[in-house]
Amino acid sequence: MSFLQKLQIIKDAVISGVTTEKALPATQEKAGLAILDEMDAELDLLIKEEEKGSLVKTKANYISGVIRIIILLDISGSMRGTEDDIYLGLSDLIKKHKGDNILVNFIAFNDDRYEILSDVHIDEAKVSKIDPVGGTNLNGTLYYALKEKCAAGTNLLVTISDGSDTENKISVEKIRKELNKRKNDRNHYYFLGEPTLSQTPEDVHANAKELGFDDDHIAVFTREGNGNKLNFAVISQMLDDLIEYGKVSEFWSEPIKEHYLALTDKRKQ
């Protein structure tokens, strides 16, 4: 078996057998697929065949080269009207990064949490339009993602929401403690928030900061003028930065800020 064939087996082990499309929010079924564990099992078999054990290094390099994107998306009733932007934005992101070494995690939340894509290789990722309805389980979803998705590897977690938590399943203090515990140079946490009718941009910023997000990792957006589609274009650029430089540009939020100012005539975020 050639080295290239073995690499193909590694790739196949990561992306094989993954259900990539689910209805929203009709199902609460979790994928339940330990993709990286499958890759480890396949590699173990290959390593036994390799007398010199050269694949051990290949395995380590492959895992270290993976970027996990984790998008937490609010699909509560207040997000109604942004379905097309979200679908188009996420579809464009996936198309742009075909061929890149990215595992996609797409977790939607209203009253509950829906794990639509779980460590699906971006070459195989597919999405459907959402149907916003219900409340906002922001805290519970964020806590789950921090615990289950950010324990190892390079992770870009982006939360998109237009309101505060309404379910009170996890306290703000518990989330802040978990987020701060997992802050390191391989975990990148960002919050994109839209003010409700009763909120100011300053409220959105303060709420995200209370959850543990750094000041410069928070942006206030508006859905007006395809704002949610723009959010995904910005996330796509963040992935480009991570791939090329190993970090996200400090100017990541400028397109969102400029868009917000142009469409709302606000001067603060």
SS3 of the chain? CCHHHHHHHHHHHHHCCCCCCCCCCCCCCCCCCCHHHHHHHHHHHHHHHCCCCCHHHHHHHHHHHCEEEEEEEECCHHHCCCHHHHHHHHHHHHHHCCCCCEEEEEEEECCCEEEEEEEEEHHHCCCCCCCCCCCCCHHHHHHHHHHHHCCCCEEEEEEEECCCCCCCCCCHHHHHHHHHHCCECCEEEEEEECCCCCCCHHHHHHHHHHHCCCHHHEEECCCCCCHHHHHHHHHHHHHHHHHHHCCCCCCCCHHHHHHHHHHHCCCCC
- Domain with 140, as residue range(s), is 64-264
| φ, ψ at 89 (rounded to 5°) | -65, -45
Residue 18 lies in a domain: no
Alpha-carbon distance of 221 to 80, in angstroms, equals 16
Q: Classify residue 147: in a domain, yes or no.
A: yes
pTM of the shown model = 0.75
The total domain count for the chain is 1
**Span 15-23, mean pLDDT?**
43
Contact 99, 123 (CB under 8 A): yes
- Over pLDDT 90: what percentage of the chain? 68
* Contact yes or no for 158/70 (Cβ under 8 A): yes
Residue 57 maps to a domain = no
pLDDT at res. 37 = 55
For the stretch 90-147, pLDDT in tens is 999 999 999 999 999 999 999 999 999 999 999 999 999 989 999 999 999 999 999 9
- Tell me, yes or no, whether 37 lies in a domain: no
Flag whether 42 is in a domain: no
In order of 130, 202, 224, 237, the CA distances from 228 in angstroms are 13, 19, 8, 15
The answer to whether position 83 is within a domain reads yes
- 215, 138, 145, 219: which is closest to 178 by C-alpha? 145
Backbone angles phi and psi of 156, in degrees to 5:
-115, 105
| Domain at 248, CATH number | 3.40.50.410
Q: Is residue 74 part of a domain?
A: yes
As a whole number, mean pLDDT of residues 174-186 equals 95
User: Domain for residue 27, yes or no?
Assistant: no
Give the pLDDT band of residue 58 (cuts 50, 70, 90). very low
d(CA 9, CA 31): 22
Task: Match 């390191």 to its residue by tokens.
Answer: 184
Indicate whether 242 pLDDT > 70.
yes
Q: How many Cβ atoms sit within 10 Å of the Cβ of residue 95? A: 11
